[in-house]
Amino acid sequence: MTSPSNFPHRHLLGIAGLQPHEISYLLDEAEHWVAVNRRAAKHDGRLAGLTQINAFFENSTRTLLSFEIAGKRLGADVVNMHAAQSSVKKGETLIDTAITLNAMRSDVIVIRHGSSGAVALIADKVDCPVLNAGDGRHEHPTQALLDALTIRRHKGSIAGLTVAICGDVLHSRVARSNILALTALAAEVRVVGPATLIPDAIEAMGAARFTDMDEGISGADVVMMLRLQNERMDGAFVPSPREYHALYGLTYERLKRAKPDALVMHPGPMNRGVEIASNVADDVNRSVIAEQVEMGVAVRMACLDVLTRGRRGIAA
Amino acid sequence: MSVGLVLANAVLVDPAGGIRTGSLSVAKDRIAAKAPDGAETIDAKGAHLAPGIVDLGVFSVDKAACIAGGITRVALMPDLSPPLDDPGLVQRSALAAKPDLWVHPLAAATRRLEGRELAEYALMVRAGARAVATGRNQIADSGVMLRVLAYAASQGLTVIAHAEDEGLVRNAVATAGETASRLGLASGPARAEAMAIARDLALVEETGAAIHFRQVTTARGLALIRVAKAQGLRVTCGITPAHLLLSDIAVTDFRTFARLSPPLRSEDDRQACLEAVADGTIDVLCSAHDPRGPEAKRLPFADAEPGMAGAETLLALGLGLVRDGLIDLPRLMAMLSANPARIIGVEGGSLGEGAAADLMLFDPDAPWIIDGSRFAGQAGNTPFDMLPTQGRVLKTIKGGRPLG
């Protein structure tokens, strides 16, 4: 067995380090699961007997649910570990937690943690594949994959599209993974937001910087909104929710600057009336927010399948 | 105490300038014209002999690391638990490593290092403190810093300052730039250093105090130091080998051993630091020795403690600057011993007759691979792990007594 692997990585820790064809391969694999998920009988037993641990050190509802559904549809025994009910609160170090999870002989571990780099730290200490479900401000690779899949299904291809990522880029792992994935797939990426919420040297990651929303989304094929955390709206980074909405909220009026068929995306959960107006979010002709959630399950099934192939004795 | 010692067949490197081959005599604990009868003779076999290193600003009394690294004196930072803000604590620290290592405690500039109330400098000096230090952080309140400098100056004490503007680096774990942005690390602009230096220099002008910036790591910060020195202000500064040899790229992959304070800088700033070593703007090369075990380092990057174990690699990495032609050997020795000794007002850094016989014998060319797991000291948290280097301490001698 010397055929080159389509995905020669043990873990999925980020989009950084993936080749464009590897990203495309995961998207292609996910297409199959989109079709399966739309059937009445969605079950596929290929992960039967394998144990999937979702270790979430940071609160999450939708991502955890998405990974749980993905694992169960593939037949894995899925166990969720919430930080709130774990020994992490008792002062156990992350490394000790990793060793504990490893000793339980899990076959794949999905991790979310509030600190950048924490997932890679755990991945170093365990014998099974690790899937990053978000680490601090660093990466959230499955979110970028589901966003790319959503865009590709609507636009046919990602190459050459103009994507405006708008809002709190500084604190956003979604933004970082999306910049990496979309630039790898040859899109033109812009980041749009107040100067206080755009990281230094973002140009070095291949994104153009805009602090004027109208200018930033002008002619865009995709307008991707980011969530603005409540604690950042109280004067620390932006003066107030209403000022933020006035300058950076996505309204119909503002959306006219983008292409007439521009997609509106949001990773959720949304702050309606702050970063996005309700009528825009709910417009089935423009907003693909619900579809992003659907693609999320498919992408996560693809990642779980691909990463566990080695353990199942299947060439990737 | 031995009666005396003859170090024969050595290459003597005097920080005051000059390298000569010959022998050095020690009577009791002093360098002497002639060793007394019955003195032991050590054949250096052509190895180099220089004054022991005076390491300005360590965070732990790590005797084994110092002996392995040729360090005979350390200036101990006040950032202990509890902080060195009390004469009793200072006295205990000063005696901590007798008789193998001189420990010169640095008095906390403010009580509990909180940056608000002046600590008892004069009483701490009586207990063995040699200078005043702001600790790991800047004193954010300019009014407090003004009084720290004025009061220290009135006591004839140098203030050892940390040069990062507190407001700009609060919560930051890296220097703002591409690496921090890619990794999603909270960062502060490199300019935080120049801002802190500019403020403190203004206060030095106001008070006439002597200030030593323990680590200056940016082009802008060094430019300010250069100008201040030309103006005749009483200012000196230091740097670690890490800031001369590594840029912020070293934290890629979230390497917590490369999490330092101040954080590693851009490549441009690193180059400016090398220039400042060459042109004499930087006075001191120090280890910033801060041994940290896995409980402080095997953590996510932002949760890990900053700091590196630097004592055992200081000489070898310093010798690299000589090999690269940046400075000559006597100047390196001045940066390692004579200059820091002068700044904190202690003996050391001289091979002259009557000077303390605190010495190190080293082979400047011996090749080895830096391996933190084999360090003699308290921990192996070195950002240079597995780096091949050259230059090894063969023997550390304190008070005329060979150690180890």
- Per-residue pLDDT of B104-138, as tens digits, reads 999 999 999 999 999 999 999 999 999 999 999 99
Distance between CA atoms of residues B369 and A124, nearest Å: 24
pLDDT over 70 at A275, yes or no: yes
Cα→Cα distances B72→A304, B339, B351, Å: 57, 14, 14
- A204–B181 CB contact, under 8 Å: yes
Bridge partners for B175 per DSSP: B188
Phi/psi of residue A159, each to 5°? -55, 130
Partners of B187 on chain A (C-beta within 8 Å) are 200
- Per-residue pLDDT of B41-64, as tens digits, reads 999 999 999 999 999 999 999 999
- Per-residue pLDDT of B236-247, as tens digits, reads 999 999 999 999
Q: What is the pLDDT of residue A234?
A: 72
Bridge partners for B188 per DSSP: B175
Any B CB within 8 A of A148 CB = no
Any A CB within 8 A of B267 CB = no
- What b/e string do you get for A186-198 counting C-beta neighbours within 10 Å, with b at 16 or more? ebbbbbbbbeebb
pLDDT over 80 at A4, yes or no: no
Tally the domains of chain B.
1
Distance between CA atoms of residues A134 and A59, nearest Å: 11
- B181–A121 CB contact, under 8 Å: no
- B176–A201 CB contact, under 8 Å: yes
Residue type at position B320: G
The alpha carbon of residue A263 is apart from the nearest alpha carbon of chain B, in Å, by 26
User: Mean of the per-residue pLDDT values for chain A?
Assistant: 93
Q: Which one of B175, B179, B181 would you mutate to disrupt binding with A, by most A Cβ within 10 Å of its Cβ?
A: B181
Q: Which one of A112, A116, A189 would you mutate to disrupt binding with B, by most B Cβ within 10 Å of its Cβ?
A: A116
CA B357-B362-B368 angle, to 5 degrees, is 150
- A117–B301 CB contact, under 8 Å: yes
Task: Give the pLDDT band (50/70/90) at residue B1.
Answer: low
Q: What is the pLDDT of residue A3?
A: 45
Nearest C-alpha neighbor of B25 from the set B311, B351, B387: B351
Give the mean pLDDT of A101-130.
95
* Secondary element (H or E) of residue A33: helix A20-37
Phi/psi of residue A285, each to 5°? -85, -20
Please name the residue of chain B whose CA is at the shortest distance from the CA of residue A16.
B182
Within 10 angstroms of residue A69's Cβ, the number of other Cβ atoms is 17
Q: What is the pLDDT of residue A85?
A: 55
- A205–B295 CB contact, under 8 Å: no
Cα→Cα distances A222→A15, A23, B94, B282, Å: 20, 19, 65, 52
Longest pairwise C-alpha distance within chain A: 60
Question: Can you give the residue range of the structural domain that contains B321?
Answer: 51-349+364-389
**Position B401 in a domain:** no
- Per-residue pLDDT of A146-159, as tens digits, reads 999 999 999 999 99
**Position B40 in a domain:** no
Give the mean pLDDT of A106-123.
95
Any B CB within 8 A of A16 CB = yes
Q: What is the pLDDT of residue A1?
A: 38
Any A CB within 8 A of B116 CB = no
Q: What is the pLDDT of residue B3?
A: 85
Task: Give the pLDDT band (50/70/90) at residue B28.
Answer: very high
Write out the two tokens for B339. Answer: 């200059």
The alpha carbon of residue B177 is apart from the nearest alpha carbon of chain A, in Å, by 5
Any B CB within 8 A of A95 CB = yes
Partners of A165 on chain B (C-beta within 8 Å) are none
Task: Give the pLDDT band (50/70/90) at residue A59.
Answer: confident
Residue type at position B396: T
**Position B238 in a domain:** yes
Distance between CA atoms of residues A217 and A224, nearest Å: 10
The alpha carbon of residue A42 is apart from the nearest alpha carbon of chain B, in Å, by 37
Phi/psi of residue B220, each to 5°? -65, -40
CA A194-A60-B174 angle, to 5 degrees, is 50
Task: Give the pLDDT band (50/70/90) at residue A230.
Answer: confident
What is residue B385's three-state secondary structure? coil
Any A CB within 8 A of B34 CB = no
The alpha carbon of residue B153 is apart from the nearest alpha carbon of chain A, in Å, by 39
CATH number at residue B109: 3.20.20.140
Distance between CA atoms of residues B291 and B314, nearest Å: 14
Q: What is the pLDDT of residue A86?
A: 57
Torsion angle, alpha carbons of A232, A238, A243, A247, to 10: -110
* Secondary element (H or E) of residue B222: helix B219-230
Please name the residue of chain A whose CA is at the shortest distance from the CA of residue B178.
A201
Any B CB within 8 A of A99 CB = no
Cα→Cα distances A54→A110, A112, A147, B108, Å: 5, 8, 21, 47
**Position B369 in a domain:** yes
Bridge partners for A163 per DSSP: A189, A222
pLDDT over 90 at A224, yes or no: yes
**Position B382 in a domain:** yes
**Position B143 in a domain:** yes
Contact B350, B16 (CB under 8 A): yes
Q: What is the pLDDT of residue A84?
A: 59
- Per-residue pLDDT of B73-98, as tens digits, reads 999 999 999 999 999 999 999 999 99
Nearest C-alpha neighbor of B360 from the set B388, B333, B387: B333
Give the mean pLDDT of B13-26.
95
- Per-residue pLDDT of B314-342, as tens digits, reads 999 999 999 999 999 999 999 999 999 99
- Per-residue pLDDT of A177-219, as tens digits, reads 999 999 999 999 999 999 999 999 999 999 999 999 999 999 9
Peptide bond into B82 cis (omega under 30): yes
Write out the two tokens for B215. Answer: 């680590």
By CB atoms closer than 10 A (0-12, 13-18, 19+), residue B307 is buried
The alpha carbon of residue A311 is apart from the nearest alpha carbon of chain B, in Å, by 26
What is residue B264's three-state secondary structure? coil
Phi/psi of residue B271, each to 5°? -60, -40
- A200–B176 CB contact, under 8 Å: yes
Cα→Cα distances B384→A120, B3, B69, B242, B387, Å: 21, 40, 15, 8, 5
**Position B10 in a domain:** no
**Position B240 in a domain:** yes
Contact A141, A118 (CB under 8 A): no
Identity of the residue in A94, A95, A138 whose CB atom sits nearest the CB atom of B183 = A138
Q: What is the pLDDT of residue A316?
A: 61
